[in-house]
Structure 1
Amino acid sequence: MAEEKDIIDEILEDADAKQAEEAADAAGKDSAAEDAEEEETVQAEEDAEDVPEKKGIFGRKKDKKDKKDEQIEDLTDRLKRSMAEFDNYRKRTEKEKTAMYEVGARSIIEKILPVVDNFERGLATVPEDEKANPFAEGMDKIYKQLMKTLEDLEVAPIEAVGKEFDPNLHNAVMHVEDEELGDNIIAEEFQKGYTYRGSVVRHSMVKVAN
């Protein structure tokens, strides 16, 4: 009986030792797992600190504009608009002034042209032997001065006789058959036409051949 009791006690001691060893191993594993988990947590926190903070849906939220900056932008925009409107007004005014000047100049030229016609008719009636007369010479000089003034104002006579008829420059009032002249050639000029800065002031009154 004593021997059996000793064997039983030895078996129980071995079982208790084995159980204690298993418990120690389990405790060690739990401790290692806790240490690993703690390290992962610390690393995650460090990684999170490295990531820049995002604000808003698409990244960092823009700083709100200062009221003074908004007022400056508004005033700058108004100034630019005002300057553009003024520039347009200036160009439009200059264009209108130029147009008014052109209309006024054409009106004056149209009134002067009959005077030029009368000068030319008067000088055409002076006989050759009287052209040396001081009066005739004075009238001729006045006529030349008048024509020089018109030339300076960019008024020019329209060429007619011997030129091809151009409805933009000439006004045909007669037609004649002439074998010596080609088709639509101006045979005679009844009234001289004039242009002002390239624009017709008065059409030439002409006779057209063929």
Structure 2
Amino acid sequence: MKNKEEEVNENLQEVADQTVDQDINAGENATEQNPMAKLEADVAEMKDKYLRLYSDFENFRKRNAKERLDLIKTASEGVLSDLIPVVDDFERAIKANENEENAQKIREGNLLIFHKFMKVLENKGLTPMQDLIGQPFDADTQEAITQIPAPTEEMKGKVIDVVEKGYTLGDKVVRFAKVVTGA
């Protein structure tokens, strides 16, 4: 079963072929004498241009959709390849910590890996929200999980504690900071 687009294309092609045949048979003098034949030729030419333009647009749309899917599939590749060395460090630390009894060395190793991990994230544009305590509550970047009586009068409506850090990627909030506000 043919779809509508194929039927329209066939019909337009038949009309174009008929018009061209009529123009050839009638000759140039007949075209000058018969304005209808000239109009039909113009219509056939315009339909042909329309079909070509439509076909080009459909090809562009399909190519664009394919490129967009490829981009989505590989968008996180850069981040993941930068995180692989951090995973390797974690694996080495876990293996080294199996026999280590000195907690200070374990803590220092974990801090080194943590800082390396945070540096990778910051290089990709992810930044933690800093210095929220004492600042006015901002519903655009923070989520108030509870309110407690403010320790001082000036702390009313301000952030008293941060339960979970918030993060931004450029100007976009990736994760809202979960805070406690003063009532």
Superposition TM-score, scaled by structure 2 size: 0.50
Q: Which has the larger radius of gyration?
A: 1
Q: TM-score, normalised by structure 1?
A: 0.45
